[in-house]
């Protein structure tokens, strides 16, 4: 029996420990070109050449290359697609399920916790006008003509503080709520999919979306991208927000109509935005978002990238998951759980290593 083939589509394990572990277990490990290590530069031809006869695929997101039904259907031996990322919106999950392929992701705290911290940092940058004040000092300015900043929390003099609205109370949204606890703000949250006890646990007030948008000074988006949530924030939602409000998106670019966001900022419908994700990535040099000056603070879809974050911990997790699946056992972190009956029929108890 030939050794099972593992295709590594984003070879970002620079130390190579995971590759050696898979090889020691009996796998034939084939790496994509080194130029793919950041998730860019992949081509369909090279991708299919690497993965066509693979029993397992492991790696991160390939920018500009969607994992479609057509591409998955050409991977005849594939039993598992392991992702170093939390997000998997670039994979056709329905197709993977129909084809009997397990898809797994990496909900490691060093990743999702970092995303929450990045959202928090973007909020502070905008409310405290940190980038603007930094430029002001570098250009020779000082306190007499500095941009004024927003006080955030409730004070003893009767100032009620700001209201922060969290759309989504999953891992990232919950951590964002926890980070905000000492700041004495009013916390609203909207998430129809979590138990009411979660709102209580994270000291948030459950409200509907309209109320959250109308009452919040800061609106922070923390949702998965799927057919239901695509462009869930558009012109209508921005129109409900306060003209002084700031909007944060560290989740997925596809959740937001970015043309509507640009218009809302350009026409002062809202005051500012902190963005780590965009509809098109990398953000095109001609994007009008770049012309909004101090109204926006931008980061390059890097909120979850920390030393040991998206890389080391996720690599260790997914290597374990991959080897489990190659032994014919259902692994953890399966995102398309509907596939399991078909997967067990195809691969259950069929050990390759």
Centre a 10 Å sphere on the Cβ of residue 82 and count the other Cβ atoms it contains.
28
CA 1 – CA 174 distance, rounded (Å):
48
Three-state secondary structure along 67-135? ECHHHHHCCCCCCEEEECCCCCCCECHHHHHHCCCEEECCCCHHHHHHHHHHHHHHHHHHHCCHHHHHH
Question: Residues 79, 129, 222, 301: which is the catalytic one?
Answer: 301
CA 255 – CA 233 distance, rounded (Å):
6
Catalytic residue check, 201? no
How close are the terminal C-alpha atoms of the chain, in Å? Answer: 10
CA angle, 272 then 278 then 282, to 5° = 125
CA distances from 136 to 132, 289, 297 (A): 6, 22, 16
Q: How many CA atoms lie within 13 A of 96 on its CB side?
A: 27
Chain length of the chain: 353
Question: Residues 21, 252, 279, 312: which is the catalytic one?
Answer: 252
Question: Residues 281, 320, 327, 346: which is the catalytic one?
Answer: 281
Q: What is the dihedral of CA 76, 82, 88, 90, to 10 degrees?
A: -40
Catalytic residue check, 327? no
Please state at what angle helix 109-127 crosses helix 171-180, rounded to 10 degrees: 50
CA 263 – CA 257 distance, rounded (Å):
10
Q: How many CA atoms lie within 13 A of 242 on its CB side?
A: 15
Catalytic residue check, 222? no
CA distances from 142 to 134, 137, 145, 170, 223 (A): 10, 6, 6, 42, 40
Q: Write out the catalytic residue numbers.
A: 252, 281, 301
């Amino acid at each position: 029996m030939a050794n099972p083939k593992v295709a590594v589509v984003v070879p970002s394990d620079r130390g190579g420990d995971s590759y050696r572990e898979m090889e020691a277990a009996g796998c034939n490990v084939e790496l994509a070109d080194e130029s793919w290590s950041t998730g860019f530069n992949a081509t369909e031809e090279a991708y299919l050449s690497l993965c066509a006869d693979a029993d397992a695929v492991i790696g991160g997101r390939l920018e500009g290359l969607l994992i479609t039904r057509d591409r998955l259907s050409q991977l005849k031996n594939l039993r598992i697609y392991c992702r170093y990322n939390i997000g998997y919106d670039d994979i056709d999950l329905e197709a993977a399920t129909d084809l009997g392929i397990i898809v797994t992701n990496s909900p490691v705290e060093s990743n999702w916790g970092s995303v929450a911290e990045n959202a928090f940092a973007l909020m502070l940058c905008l409310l405290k006008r940190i980038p603007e004040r930094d430029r002001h000092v570098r250009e020779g300015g000082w306190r007499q003509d500095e941009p004024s900043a927003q006080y955030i929390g409730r004070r003893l003099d009767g100032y009620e503080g700001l209201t922060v609205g969290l759309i989504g109370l999953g891992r990232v949204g919950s951590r964002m709520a926890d980070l905000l606890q000492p700041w004495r703000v009013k916390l609203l949250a909207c998430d129809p999919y979590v138990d009411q006890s979660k709102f209580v646990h994270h000291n948030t007030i459950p409200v509907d979306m309209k109320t959250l948008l109308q009452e919040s000074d800061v609106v922070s988006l923390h949702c998965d991208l799927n057919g239901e949530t695509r462009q869930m924030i558009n012109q209508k939602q921005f129109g409900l927000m306060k003209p002084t409000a700031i909007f944060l998106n560290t989740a997925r670019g596809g959740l937001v109509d970015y043309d509507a966001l640009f218009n809302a900022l350009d026409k002062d419908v809202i005051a500012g935005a902190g963005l780590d994700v965009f509809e098109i990535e990398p953000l095109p040099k001609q994007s009008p978002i770049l012309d909004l000056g101090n109204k926006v603070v931008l980061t390059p879809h890097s909120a979850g990238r920390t030393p040991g974050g998206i890389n080391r911990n996720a690599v260790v997790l997914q290597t374990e998951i991959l080897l489990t699946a190659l032994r014919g056992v259902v692994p953890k972190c399966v995102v398309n759980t509907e596939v399991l009956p078909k997967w067990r029929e195809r691969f259950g108890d069929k050990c390759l290593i």
